[in-house]
């Protein structure tokens, strides 16, 4: 990873470059050739990530998406099977967001699986189902429900469950997560473990105030769906402005603590984690908090940071 460039390598056959700076587009050929020489991978594809490539980095006329001369095979549906943490995924870079798979969450998915034995799991903003699949395949979860607003993502998640032979334990639904949580509260539903991994809500510091409100609401509503007997919330932000803001750079933690209180629950922040080790150097844009939510009749217990 470098400023404005990230590379995901999917096994021995494919590398995908995510370009978020105009200089990356300008030197695309050099970057691609260097990757081929270094990795021995011949299929290297380049995707432009943000409109700010145009606005801030001199990428005049570029739109988000694949650079045409680097997307061979996308139109004919070329796909790959990739594996992470022993879980298989069907992968077509032309059918998914960014590089197609969020490798930066690898360690957090593994962490989640260690908390799910015999539990019911709700996976909010589930994308292609990676947290759900880790919970079942590696964690022995009793059941998982994944929710995402993208029909394409939900379809891929269901396909991935079938590839891993766990479709009977995984349900994936297309829905707005906010509306879904409201409906589930009204119906009295709850889960033992909840994952909340929304898209970037604060792309820049300018949008931070609005993002804090949104993160507070989403986390509050998720906590309200934790089982009355207690459970776990794994909540994430991929907005560096959230990770680095607030007092002592703990704005996201402060926001989640407030959300738990607003939900009328108590608990403890057990762990704060960031990206997988292969993303060293820029890893703190992603923050995940593992929060133990106490039973409704509980006294708060002991822990590293009480909410």
pLDDT in tens, 11-45: 777 888 877 777 788 888 998 999 999 999 988 88
Distances (CA, A) of 267 to 122, 233, 290, 300: 18, 10, 10, 6
- Which one-letter DSSP state was computed for residue 129? T
Decide: 4 and 19 in contact? Cβ < 8 Å.
yes
- Whether residue 77 is predicted with pLDDT greater than 60 in this model: the reply is no
- The pLDDT, as a whole number, for residue 182 is 98
Q: What is the pTM of this model?
A: 0.83
Candidates 116, 125, 126, 238; catalytic one: 238
- Whether residue 216 is predicted with pLDDT greater than 90 in this model: the reply is yes
pLDDT digits (tens, 9 = 90+) for 164-199: 999 999 999 999 999 999 999 999 999 999 999 998
Rounded distance, CA 269 to CA 305, Å?
Answer: 5
Parallel, antiparallel, or unpaired for β 5-10 and 193-196? Answer: unpaired
Parallel, antiparallel, or unpaired for β 43-48 and 14-19? Answer: parallel
Give me the chain's average pLDDT, please.
83
Q: What phi and psi values does residue 144 have, to the nearest 5 degrees?
A: -135, 145
Higher confidence at residue 47 or residue 87? 87
Closest by CA to 213, choosing from 200, 195, 201, is 201
- Whether residue 240 is predicted with pLDDT greater than 80 in this model: the reply is no
Q: Which residues contact 27 (CB under 8 A, 6 or more apart)?
A: none
In the structure, what pLDDT confidence band is assigned to residue 71 with cuts at 50, 70 and 90?
Answer: very low
- 238 part of the active site: yes
- The pLDDT, as a whole number, for residue 78 is 63
- The pLDDT, as a whole number, for residue 279 is 55
Bridge partners for 120 per DSSP: 143
């Amino acid at each position: 990873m470098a400023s404005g460039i990230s590379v995901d390598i999917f096994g021995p056959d494919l590398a995908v470059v995510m370009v978020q700076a105009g200089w990356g587009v300008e030197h695309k050929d050099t970057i691609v050739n260097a990757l081929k020489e270094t990795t021995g991978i011949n299929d290297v594809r380049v995707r432009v990530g943000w409109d700010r490539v145009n606005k801030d980095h001199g990428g005049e006329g570029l739109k988000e998406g694949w650079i045409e001369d680097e997307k061979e095979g996308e139109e004919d549906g070329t796909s790959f099977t990739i594996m992470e943490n022993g879980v298989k995924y069907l992968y077509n870079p032309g059918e998914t967001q960014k590089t197609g798979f969020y490798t930066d969450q690898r360690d957090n998915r593994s962490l989640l699986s260690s908390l799910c034995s015999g539990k019911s799991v709700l996976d909010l903003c589930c994308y292609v189902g990676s947290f759900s699949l880790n919970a079942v395949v590696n964690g022995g979860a009793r059941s998982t429900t994944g929710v995402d607003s993208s029909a394409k993502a939900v379809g891929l998640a269901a396909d991935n469950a079938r590839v891993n032979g766990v479709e009977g334990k995984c349900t994936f639904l297309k829905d707005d997560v906010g509306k879904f949580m409201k409906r589930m509260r009204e119906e009295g539903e709850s889960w033992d473990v909840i994952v909340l991994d929304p898209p970037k809500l604060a792309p820049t510091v300018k949008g931070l105030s609005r993002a804090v409100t949104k993160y507070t609401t989403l986390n509050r509503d998720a906590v309200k769906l934790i089982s009355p007997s207690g459970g776990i919330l794994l909540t994430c932000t991929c907005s560096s402005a959230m990770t680095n803001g607030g007092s002592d750079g703990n704005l996201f933690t402060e926001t989640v603590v407030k959300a738990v209180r607003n939900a009328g629950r108590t608990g403890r922040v057990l762990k704060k984690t960031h990206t997988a080790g292969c993303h060293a150097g820029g890893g703190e844009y992603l923050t995940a908090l593992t929060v133990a939510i106490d039973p409704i009749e509980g006294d708060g217990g002991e822990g590293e940071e009480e909410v």
